[in-house]
């Protein structure tokens, strides 16, 4: 029964990821709530890598961007550690399965109105899982 519960936790995290990715035009903070200095700061310090499409990426001080990336880190770090736990502590399987889920999540978002699909987010999600797993392994020892 214990193994089933571990995989149910994994499925629950995947469901949360799907639910959040399926929200059209997801904005955690609306632009109209920003003070002028923050609007100017987030516009001035935005870097775009690549022109458009899956292999482009943006880095920004925009609060909504930062919250989205923190969300990616927390949710995919949690997914990675829950898979690590469900596979009886296989780092390889945890990283591979998290990367697969992250890839499908980005593909799914490409069909959601107002959402984008970026390879950089797959990389961020995979790195978050690796970092969380490393922390959990260090705490276990």
Q: Is 50 left (phi over 0), alpha (psi -120 to 50) or beta?
A: left
Q: Give, for all 141 residues of the chain, the pLDDT tens digit.
A: 578 999 999 999 999 999 999 999 998 887 777 788 887 888 788 888 988 899 999 898 888 889 999 999 999 999 999 999 999 999 999 999 999 999 999 999 999 999 999 999 999 999 999 999 999 999 988
Predicted pLDDT of residue 23: 96
Q: What is the pTM of this model?
A: 0.91
Predicted pLDDT of residue 1: 55
72: buried, middle or exposed (CB in 10 Å: 19+, 13-18, 0-12)?
A: buried
Q: Rounded CA gap, 45 and 64, in Å?
A: 14
Domain boundaries, the chain: 2-22+60-140
């Amino acid at each position: 029964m214990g193994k089933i519960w571990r995989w149910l936790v994994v499925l629950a995290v995947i469901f949360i990821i799907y639910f959040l990715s399926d929200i059209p035009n997801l904005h955690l903070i609306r632009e109209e709530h920003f003070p002028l200095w923050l609007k100017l700061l987030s516009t001035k310090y935005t870097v775009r890598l690549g022109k458009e499409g899956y292999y482009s990426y943006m880095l920004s001080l925009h609060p909504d961007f930062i919250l989205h990336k923190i969300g990616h880190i927390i949710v995919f770090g949690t997914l990675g550690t829950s898979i690590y736990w469900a596979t009886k502590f296989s780092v390889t399987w945890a990283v591979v399965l998290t990367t697969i889920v992250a890839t499908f999540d980005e593909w799914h978002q490409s069909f959601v109105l107002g959402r984008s699909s970026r390879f950089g987010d797959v990389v961020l999600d995979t790195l978050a899982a690796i970092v969380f797993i490393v922390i959990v392994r260090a705490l276990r020892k």
